[in-house]
Amino acid sequence: MNKVFTILLIFVLTITAQDKNKTTIDTKSGTPMLVGLCDREAFADTNFAWWFNSGYKFYDPDADVVSKILDVKTEYSITIVMGTWCSDSRREVPRFYKLLDALNFSEGKIELINVDRSKSGIDADVSNLKIELVPTFIVYSNGKEMGRIIETPEESLEIDLLKILIQN
């Protein structure tokens, strides 16, 4: 019975792993790009790690603003829609993850969707999100959209996130 369970578990994990972090070739640049539902592990791939790790390392979220965000008692989740082909996404998404790490934000409350140049998520339908520019960071509370940071922050990622959280 244990053998059957182990084989079934490995099969399920393999199928689940294949649902995330898919890559395809960007026809414009000829380079790999992520498409569909992803998680942070996708950025460990050498095709993406060079810009993700660099952007993450050199971003320093404002500790005072991070402290103010931590004081907000709102429960929230975040959807990130990005394109690995997009320079704004390559700049802002690593920074946003650095901010989320400073907030000890749960990975389970992050939905990461990578789109192609036509803003299609391939196996992740983003049409209902009305994405025009990437990256787009959508903040939700109890399933209701609270606000967005679109393409580049107005002030900084942490200040813009704080404003979204305190306005509601």
Q: What are phi and psi of 78, to 5 degrees?
A: -135, 135
Residue ranges in the chain modelled with pLDDT below 70: 1-18
CATH number of 22-166: 3.40.30.10
Report which secondary-structure segment, H or E, holds 150. strand 144-150
Looking at residue 122, its pLDDT comes to 78
Looking at residue 3, its pLDDT comes to 58
Q: Which amino acid is at 149?
A: I
CB 62 within 8 A of CB 162: no
pTM for the structure as a whole: 0.88
Q: What are phi and psi of 19, to 5 degrees?
A: -75, -20
Looking at residue 14, its pLDDT comes to 46
Residues composing the chain: 168
How distant is the alpha carbon of residue 39 from its chain centre?
A: 7
